Structures are given as structure tokens and as C-alpha cells.
Structure 1
Amino acid sequence: MSQTTNCVPATSFLAATWRKSRHSNPRGDCVELAELVGGKIAVRNSRHPSGPVLIFARSEMAAFIQSAEGGKFDETTGTLIHKR
């Protein structure tokens, strides 16, 4: 696994284009992603856009999303699971 940088200030990414799922909660309780120069993926909480940002390699983010879609984390979320 490549090195992951954690808790980078969001102000470091002012030019980033942040995206969230179209299925997101309209109140803003969402995870947002931004593609960074060099192929890294930034992740932040939409309720705290100036808060800390987590940075992952594209391969790490792809593995996480694939695992989530495959139900690997279902037991950790309990009744919060929302199936499409």
C-alpha cells in the first residue's frame, strides 16, 4: 500500500473540484471527493469544507469503493445501510 497523507488542511486545495454522489443527503452530511494533480484522491466531509482532508492513492480509493459496493463494511454500519 502506498503512503497515505492524513489531515491535510482543506485550504491546501482551494482549486480542487469537489464532487459528491447525486444520492447524497440534501442536508450536506456527505463525503466529497476531488481528483488532485498526480492522480491522488482527496476526501473531505461536506459539513466541514474547510476542515481536514484525507489523501489516498487512486488504487486505494478504488479498492475502498469496490469493498463498500461489495458489502464488506455492512456489519460495521448496522442499520445505516442504504441499499439502492
Structure 2
Amino acid sequence: MAEQFDNGIPADRLTGAQWRKASYSNAIGNCVEVAPLASGEIAMRNSRFPTGPALVYTQAEMAAFLAGAKDGEFDDVLG
């Protein structure tokens, strides 16, 4: 059995968060959802576990990650 990691905060504590799912998600729910927060930060969660955990990032952190993803910097983690 794979090791389970838990971190972040319970997503249901982020009241008022408007979660949205990537259009690349598949029908069995393997996807990530993001929600902009009133604080200006961005929350991210696994859609299969909507109550959490959620990770919260600053806009600068999310911008750096997205730039790296668009440049293919993380392609190697897929095998």
C-alpha cells in the first residue's frame, strides 16, 4: 500500500471558497481544484477529497509554479 501524506488545512475551513476544476480532469475525478481566497492567496485541493487537506499559496508562489509547469520543468515527475 502506498504511503499516505496529509498536510495543509481542512478545505471545509475555507468558507466561501469558490473551487474550480481543471478542464483536463478525467471522468473518474483525478483532478486538482483551485480557489482564490479573500486574502489574495490561492488554495489547491484534490477533488476526490473535497474536505481537505488544502494547500494555500501566495500569488507569487502560484505564479512561479505555473511558469515552471508551462516551461516543462516538472514533466519528469510523470515518469
Q: For residue 55 of structure 1, give the secondary structure of its aligned residue in structure 2.
A: strand
**Counterparts of 2:35 and 2:68 in 1: how far apart (Å)?**
20
Structure 1 consecutive aligned stretches of length 4 or more whose deviation exceeds 2 Å: none
Asked if residue 64 in structure 1 is aligned to residue 62 in structure 2, the reply is: no
Which residue of structure 1 aligns with residue 30 of structure 2? 29
**Counterparts of 1:9 and 1:75 in 2: how far apart (Å)?**
29
TM-score, with normalisation over the residues of structure 1? 0.80
Which residue of structure 2 aligns with residue 12 of structure 1? 13
Amino acid across the alignment from 1:20: K
TM-score, with normalisation over the residues of structure 2? 0.84
Which residue of structure 2 aligns with residue 77 of structure 1? 78
Q: For residue 8 of structure 1, give the secondary structure of its aligned residue in structure 2.
A: coil
Identity, % of aligned positions: 49
**Counterparts of 1:7 and 1:74 in 2: how far apart (Å)?**
24
Structure 1 residue ranges without an equivalent (≥5) = 1-5, 79-84
Q: For residue 49 of structure 1, give the secondary structure of its aligned residue in structure 2.
A: coil
**Counterparts of 1:13 and 1:52 in 2: how far apart (Å)?**
11
Amino acid across the alignment from 2:55: L
